[in-house]
Structure formats: structure tokens, C-alpha cells
Structure 1
Amino acid sequence: MEQGISAVDVICKVGLERVIRTNGDAACVKPDTAERMKKIGMLFIPINFLDLQKDIQSVTASEKEMQTVPASSMSVVNFYITDQDLNTAHRGIEVVPIQGLFEFTINGIPINGPKNMIETGPDTGQFYIKLELPETINGRPLSQDDIVLIKYLDESDYSGEQRILVKSVPLTKTFAKVESSGGGSRIGHEFTVRIYEPDANRDSKNEDKISLSELEFRSEGGIRTTLANPKFEANRSHLVETGPNTDTFEVIIKIPRQLDGKTIHIGDEYEIRYIDKSTPSNSNEKIILKGKIG
């Protein structure tokens, strides 16, 4: 790929399935990993086109369809359009200029789109479009409240009438989530820290783990440490997956009265931070759980 090979031309070793992540890069993964990535929206399209045809909602040759995946701010929206009217060279992969076919807006403000779209395989009639998002819109950085609107200006449908296909794509920064349950706001009382992190689920048959050192604890008075600090009296040295292939990891801890010689007081606010290193934007994002000592 570094030498310019297209993602659709990547060849995987026997036993691995070729997929395209939301950043447009190809990856070679085990079939169960591909299914899991697809389920949580980490792929825009599997590269195994025969399997793809079984998964996509059935359409007739003259119908149109647009499908998208979650978008990441300051990154890209990956999507594809199914339109057999554009499939004229049935033996090759076509590259089609999109000028006049698409309109792209963020919160109603027009943005520039790519020059071309590429067919996902010979004679598929499905075309991949990579829409790169700007860092700002009207001078304001994009946020998770923003909506990307994609309009496909279909010249004619099966009845000969012109129509417009529209898809809205909400911006998201990460798939990971951090939650807590139990007596987390009281000093010395056990509570559960829970992370939903599909990328840490590498073994579909056994429970995976996340190191406690990957979760940072911050509180008033300049307290900075990780949950690996023995003062938290964690019930294990890792967050452990709640079962095979659940994507959810848990550990039970206690907030101590003192950390590294500094006292935690009732009413103090605290944060537990986790860095998601496999976001759709291919960048690191902080996932923060906030609480107050009761």
C-alpha cells in the first residue's frame, strides 16, 4: 500500500480475510475478527466481494443504494453507492468522476468532495467514495454534534424519473466507552470500572485483558496516577473481558483516602481516563469518566 497499491488489490495469506477499515486502509484479519469489526462499524466494506453480496440488502440492477459508516471528525467519511447505470465496463474496475453527481454539506454548509469514485470490483456496480472532512467549518472545529449530509443526484431511477438519495452521517470520535457501577463515589467502597473496547477483543474464544496502567486517575490537589496503583486495591491486575467475545472489560477497585501522600476529600471531583488508540480517525482520543467523591 505504501508503494501505491490500491486497498482493493491487497492479497491476504490463506486463512485471513481482506477488509477495509474506516480510514480507507486494507487489513488482513481472521474471519471472526472481520465479523466483529463489521458489527461495530469499523469497516466500510468487506473486500471479499462474494461474501459481501450475501450481506448487502438485495437490489435490482436498476435500483440505487447508498451505505455509509460512522465518520470521525477531522478525518473521513467512507461510503459507497450502488448504481448499475454507472457500471458500463463490465470486465474492469471503473473510476467515475463525481462532479455533478454528489453534494456534500456539514450542518448545511457545502464542503468540497473528492474528484472520483472507484468501483469495488469488476462488474459490482458498487462505487467507493472517500470524503475527507475539513478541520473546521466556518472557523469552528468540528464536533460530535455535527452532521455530514451526502446527496446523490440520480439522473434517473428505474421509472425514468430524477431523484435524490440522501444519507446523514453523525460525527463520532471513538467506539470505546468507560462506565462505572456500584459505590464509586464513596471512599473505601468497592465499585466496578467497565470499558467497552472492541479493539482489545483479540481472542474470540477466551477472555482478553486491558492493563490497569492504561487507565489514568486524576483528582483535585494535583493527584495523577493510574489504576495500577496498589492503593486502589483492585481485585485483579487487569481489566478482564466479561466473557469470550463480549468486548466489555471490568475491574473492581476502591478509591482510597490518600494517594501518593495526597488526601482525597469528600466533594472532590475525579476523572478516570482511557486513551482509545484505534479510533475511526486513526488518532488517539481521550475517553473520560467523571465523578464526585460522596
Structure 2
Amino acid sequence: MKNVTVIGAGTMGNGIAHTFAQSGFKVSLVDRSQESIDQGLGIIAKNLDRMIAKERITEADKEATLSNITSFTDLKEGVSKADLVVEAATENLSLKLQIFGDLDQFAPADCILSTNTSSISITQIAAATQRPDKVIGMHFMNPVPIMKLVEIIRGYSTSDEVTKTIMDLSKKLGKTPTEVNDYPGFVANRILMPMINEAIETLYNGVAGVEEIDTVMKLGMAHPMGPLQLADFIGLDICLSILNVMHGGFKNPKYAPCPLLVNMVMAGKKGVKSGEGFYDYSASRKAEVVSKSFL
């Protein structure tokens, strides 16, 4: 397996492309707009510069990594030689079903199709193709170049051979693959998102403020980042989407998203990506608690 196509040049997509390219794979980075691709490539270059500054890689390593990435705005062209596709588009079921229908048509017959989805059913995505045995979940953690875990999710029809191939491949990337079964939220988000949602409920109910809640979890539970700041980092819209998937999949009220989370996303307050969530990330501030009341 030498040629990897990554669909989506956003936060997860450019991190996945970076990781494969740095490990010597030829990467085709596909996005609908050249602007998104250029932005993604710029982030990869900046992250490589940080690694140079920390003396983890050399300038030659950076150039080799960037030379391994070719960009495309045409999906058919971008997957024509792929041995593996990693889809990292927006966490939206209808979009993913459309992409996988197209991938099934355009990718080589022996190509493995994987998705970086953090909660959506692999079995449902695989049903959009004529190769469900070759469809698998490959859920990287953010930031991808640093985080070691990859959740490997088997759909109902995913073959043993494909699972072993992706487990072995993940190890070649320097990751620790962990196999899980295909249920809403998988393992990481099934545990993480209810915790984040409960932190938001705690704020919503006036038990404590943003900084106080995060301080309790950081100092009391040894979490490197408080749940509200982590939610901002993940993206409040992504948190809401994952909770909705779990709530819809399990029909259990414990997964129902907090009304405050719903309102913030509707208001466009999505966390770091929008410049404001539970904290303010504007140019003059760095993770400063938003002054207005959340109640």
C-alpha cells in the first residue's frame, strides 16, 4: 500500500495527509476548492516548521513530506490510483453517503475505503457501496500528527483481511490502533461526549462558571484540558452532531444535547474555529472566558 487519498483538507484531513506523507506514503489531498487545499497545505507546512523548531525533524524531512503530497479538486482524478482512501469530510451522513457512492464508482476495485467519522455508522456508510467488505472506520484523534490513538471500527461486513491491513498500516504510521465495534459514538466519543455534555449542563444549571468547571476537572481529575475548553477545541457543532447521532441511535435521553449547546451552535458560537465558544479566541485574547452570562 503506497498511494493514499485523503478526502477533505480541513483540520482532520490535513493532519491525516501530513501523517501519511511524513511516513513516506504518496498522498493525494482532495477538496472541492483550491482555497481549502491551499489553507490545508499551509497548516501542514506550519506544523512541520514547529517540528523543526523542536528539533524533531530536519528541513530536508519537511521538504520530503511536502513533496509526497499532490492536491486535486476533482474526486475522480484524485482517487484513480489509490490503494486506500481516508474520508475526512464534514460529520454529515448524507454527505458521506454521497462521497462513498462516488468513491465506489471511481476508486480501483481493490482499494480500501475508510472514513474518519467520529460517530456515524460504518455499516450505514458501507451500504452506499458495492464493496462493504472493504469499508472500515479509521478514526484519528486531533491533532493527528501528535496523538497516538486510531480507533479502528469494523462495519457489519468489514473483512478480517481489511481489518488486519488497516491495523498493521496504523502501526507503520507510529500509531496505536484499537479495534472497536460499530455502535454510535464507538468508544472514544461514547464516553467523552456525555462528559462534555454534563459539563455544559453544569454550567447551564448555574452550578459553577466556565473556568471553575474546567479547573475542577484539570486539577481534580488530572485532565490536561477542561471539558468546556476541549469542546471549544473539538468544535461545538461537532459535539452537537455526535450527541445527536448517539441520541438518535440509542434513543436514550442521557445522550440528549444540552439546550445551551444547541443555542450556542445556532448562534454561530462554535469554539476555536469561529473565534468564540465558552472562551474567546479573538486576536487579542487567548482562551479568555467570555464575559457574558451563559444562562
**TM-score, scaled to structure 2:** 0.25
Q: Whose helix proportion is higher, 1 or 2? A: 2
Larger radius of gyration, structure 1 or 2?
1
**TM-score, scaled to structure 1:** 0.25
